[in-house]
């Protein structure tokens, strides 16, 4: 099946986190429709798990929802940055920890209906406290680090207490990977 063709592409907004792009797309039948796209560079996500099975998460204020959200450490890719390097950087910056081992769990489309963001999710083990501690970015000063048993995190997902998509996917895949390795 032939793919639709992009006829015209226009960036309407360039922001610090994403761009808004409007494209005219020609369908197979010749119809042209406008597509609104949030263009995002993607990111690295890390599911840090201690040797005892506890998971390390961050709680941060998320303005669009006007509340604090418990989630996996994550951040936006810098230009030409390897997703694994991004995950390692975010683990250290947000939690003050480093890891000996990283395993890629998945690369996921966050909202494919209107956004091209791809998140690369990694399991991190062999955690060690960094000598330098956290190095939070602007806007992350309210971020706190929480450690809890992986089993409790899974219960929190089923109870609707962990609601962030990347975190849910990461925790469930990490649990599966941990079971396979034992």
- Whether 104 has a pLDDT exceeding 90, the answer reads yes
Q: Which are the catalytic amino acids?
A: 140
In sequence order, which residues have a C-beta less than 8 Å from that of residue 180 and are 6 or more positions away?
none
Angle between helices 165-181 and 150-158 (to 10 degrees): 140
Average pLDDT over residues 107-112: 97
The domains of the chain, with CATH numbers, are: 5-39 (no CATH), 43-181 (3.90.79.10)
Q: Per residue in 42-55, pLDDT tens? A: 999 999 999 999 99
The closest of 87, 112, 103 to 165, measured between CA atoms, is 112
Consecutive H or E run containing 5 = strand 5-14
What is the rounded distance in angstroms from the CA atom of residue 58 to the CA atom of residue 146? 6
Q: Per residue in 6-40, pLDDT tens? A: 999 999 999 999 999 999 999 999 999 999 999 99
- Whether 140 has a pLDDT exceeding 80, the answer reads no
Q: pLDDT band for 138, please (50, 70, 90 cuts).
A: low
């Amino acid at each position: 099946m032939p793919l639709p063709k992009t006829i015209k592409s226009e960036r309407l907004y360039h922001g610090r986190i994403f761009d808004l792009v409007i494209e005219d797309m020609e369908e197979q039948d010749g119809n042209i429709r406008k597509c609104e796209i949030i263009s995002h560079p993607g990111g690295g996500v890390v599911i840090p798990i201690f040797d005892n099975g506890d998971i390390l998460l961050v709680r941060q204020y998320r303005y669009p929802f006007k509340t604090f959200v418990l989630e996996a450490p994550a951040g936006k890719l810098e230009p030409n940055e390897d997703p694994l390097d991004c995950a390692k950087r975010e683990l250290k910056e947000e939690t003050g920890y480093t890891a000996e081992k990283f395993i890629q769990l998945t690369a996921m489309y966050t909202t494919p209906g209107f956004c091209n963001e791809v998140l690369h999710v990694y399991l991190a083990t062999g955690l060690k406290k960094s000598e330098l501690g956290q190095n939070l970015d602007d806007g992350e000063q309210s971020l706190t680090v929480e450690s809890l048993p992986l089993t409790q995190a899974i219960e929190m997902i089923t109870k609707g207490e962990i609601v962030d998509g990347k975190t849910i996917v990461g925790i469930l895949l990490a649990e599966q990977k941990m079971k396979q390795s034992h």
